[in-house]
Chain A
Amino acid sequence: MESASDGGSMVSLQGVHKRFGDLEVLRGVNLEIKKGEVVCVLGPSGSGKSTLLRCVNLLEPPEEGDIHLEQRSICRGPGSGRGEQGWELDFVRQRVGIVFQQFNLFPHKSALENVTLAQEKVLDRPKGEARTKGTELLERVGLGEKMNEYPERLSGGQQQRVAIARALAMDPHVMLFDEVTSALDPELVKEVLDVMRELAEEGMTMMVVTHEIGFAREVADRVIFMDGGVIVEEGPPAQVLENPREERTKKFLGLVLER
């Protein structure tokens, strides 16, 4: 297992602001994630944690501030005013994989086709090579038997594992996880977390928005607590989760752990 300090900066956010109309969802976020680091983002709903994640792959480009990916600025920040032309979409999307709360598998494609489609369209991989890679990844997430099933015939946990395999097929340098277990029945949560744990052990750089405190405690190199669009507190899991300094963190953890 690589330790967090091995790599240089993978993702870096400086003064990131994001508004939706009058609502300012992110109010100046600074964050540095190193290569191989696993960062869990906690916080109450509406705290901006999902938006933060979606900023990193430019699904929600920030209005202010800058984001660097592997030391390269991926958005020109305020007043660049050129829409998608100002953003390094291709650079970002080839390096950043994302897994969504609602899976978002393509319902008209089989599990394997879900994993091979973008390989062929985006990376121009030959069909055979894409299939080999897809098969390998589906086996790795424990779905070798389900390759030819359509999403509607898979459980939520299985669908989410296909979604992880689909993102991994693009050889991402960073993986973003947006509350990926929140839409799952409780008994299906573990199979997804296990895949993520394995990925972390292999040294993948990961940003995980989650409500799974146990997962954060066990897997994260660093925990970030967000509230009201800013990072309230961050540090090693032991510190943030066991001995939070901030009142808001204490209150949130109290509410979550009480369940």
Chain B
Amino acid sequence: MQEFINQFFDVGFMVDHFDEVLEGFWVTIQLSIISGILALIWGLILATLRQLPGKAAMPVRFVTIAYIDVFRGIPLLILILIIAGGVPALEFLPESLRLPQWFGKKDNFWFGVLAITITYGAYMAEVYRSGIESVPGGQMEAARSLGMSHGQAMRSVILPQAVRKVIAPLLNDFIALTKDTTLVSVIALSEVTLVANDIQSETFNSSALMLGALMFLALTLPLARLVDKLIAREQGRFTRGAPRMEAL
């Protein structure tokens, strides 16, 4: 038993390496927030493109759907490796794109951001879509009947209702995204996993990794509770709203 505790929950060991692990976790948080915001925006753009009406927009819809299908189907880990190994080799790109060093962050950080945004943008596009489709068809009809264009109706009528309905599932995706940032450790980004794993390799003690896991819990548990709260609130909302119009 004592051996088990020493291996995984050595408090003294955790205290000794706390600053190191926390520094790694800070990179994890930065990676999560930047990728998370970009994925939220990119997903909304994808979902909007997917809903463009009319024959003329058919190629756009097709490409968008193909994108979403492809990137939901590719493991994020492979995508990270493809981008980190491939982009620097593209000689035609300017160096600032091949080896981005923006805002004092190294290229592997930005490759991670790119891969996560591409993948989670696809996931979040599907979440937005479910929100858009849950808005009764009569809402679009009413807005268009008042003379609004499709774009105006989307912006002022459909999306505000749709986004409100999907805040909780989006937050769920964000929690998953946060955990998936650990995959960027494979391209040598010193985030929490890599830092803690290096400590384990040197000391044969898993407590640093366990500390990293605990830091994740400190972040994800409150978020999970927030999701529950939002879902409960959403269920009490618009309960007297008009039912979906018979779509003939």
Contact = CB atoms under 8 A, between A and B. Distances in A.
A19 to B, nearest CB: 11
Nearest to A166: B146
A168 B157 CA distance: 19
Interface string B135-166: 01011011111111000100011001100100
Contacts of B238: 107, 152
B138 A121 contact: no
Interface stretch (A34-42, A96-104, A209-217): A96-104
Nearest to A150: B238
Interface residues of A, number: 34
A131 to B, nearest CB: 16
B218 interface: no
B146 to A, nearest CB: 4
Contact of B147 (A94, A108, A159): A94
A118 B138 contact: no
Contacts of A102: 136, 138, 242-243, 245
Contacts of A31: none
B248 A57 contact: no
B241 interface: yes
A205 interface: no
Nearest to A94: B147
Interface string A75-97: 00000000110000010011011
Given A83-B55, A100-B245, A59 B147 contact: no
B241 A59 contact: no
A93 B138 contact: no
Majority secondary structure, A binding face = mixed
A20 B157 CA distance: 27
B73 interface: no
A93 B145 contact: yes
Contact of A97 (B143, B145, B160): B145
Given A106-B157, A121-B152, A152-B240, A170 B146 contact: yes
Given A106-B157, A108-B164, A59 B245 contact: no
B239 interface: yes
Contact of A108 (B54, B142, B161): B161
A111 B164 CA distance: 19
Given A57-B145, A100-B142, A83 B242 contact: no
B152 A100 contact: no
B243 A84 contact: no
B161 A100 contact: no
A110 interface: no
A107 to B, nearest CB: 5
A233 interface: no
A167 interface: yes
A104 B243 CA distance: 9
Contacts of B239: 152
Contact of B248 (A20, A84, A103, A123): A20
Contact of A122 (B53, B147, B241, B248): B147
A51 interface: yes
A59 B136 CA distance: 15
A25 B141 CA distance: 20
A118 B141 contact: no
Interface string A58-75: 011000000000000000
Contacts of A163: 142
A33 interface: no
A104 B161 CA distance: 13
Which of B136, B240, B245: most chain A CB closer than 10 A?
B240
Contacts of B240: 151-152
A105 interface: yes
A20 B142 CA distance: 21
6 contacts: A102-B245, A104-B245, A108-B164, A117-B156, A123-B147, A166-B146
Given A152-B240, A152-B241, 13 more contacts: A83-B55, A83-B56, A84-B53, A90-B147, A93-B144, A93-B146, A96-B145, A104-B242, A106-B142, A121-B148, A121-B152, A122-B152, A170-B146
